[in-house]
Amino acid sequence: MSFNYVIWMEDDASVELYIDTGNLDENKAMFDSFFKRKDEIEKAFSGQLEWERLDERRASRIRCTLHNGGLSVGEESWQKVQDPMIDAMRRLVDALKPFVRGAGA
């Protein structure tokens, strides 16, 4: 599992927990373990998350997409993109941390 910052050229950026242990069944079991606690996790996060089991792929992810700009906003405006990403990542880590140890169980 890895926590990632993702930023696109246009319009969007996101923070995510990417679940890929190399084993499809293990990944899906971990995702399902988190999903069972969806309401509790989103309450701790203080917002809705995108729950992407990605059944057609080996990995899964839990993501928050931010619509306040991407790389194309220009370097002078990157701070307005970066600060909300940092805040969202802190909230995502804090919301998921209590459940990471039990994921896949």
| Residue 24 belongs to domain spanning | 2-100
Q: What is residue 39's predicted lDDT score, i.e. its pLDDT?
A: 97
Q: What's at 88, amino acid-wise? A: A
Domain assignment present for residue 105? The answer is no
Structure tokens, 24: 């499809």
Nearest CA to 64 among 19, 10, 12? 12
pLDDT tens digit sequence for 57-103: 999 999 999 998 777 877 778 888 899 999 999 999 999 999 886 56
Collapsed DSSP state (helix, strand, coil) of residue 23 = coil
Q: CATH code at 23?
A: 3.30.310
> On the CB side of 5, how many CA atoms lie within 13 Å of its CA?
13
What pTM was computed for the model?
Answer: 0.88
Confidence of residue 105 (pLDDT cuts 50, 70, 90): very low
Domain assignment present for residue 29? The answer is yes
DSSP H or E stretch at residue 60: strand 60-66
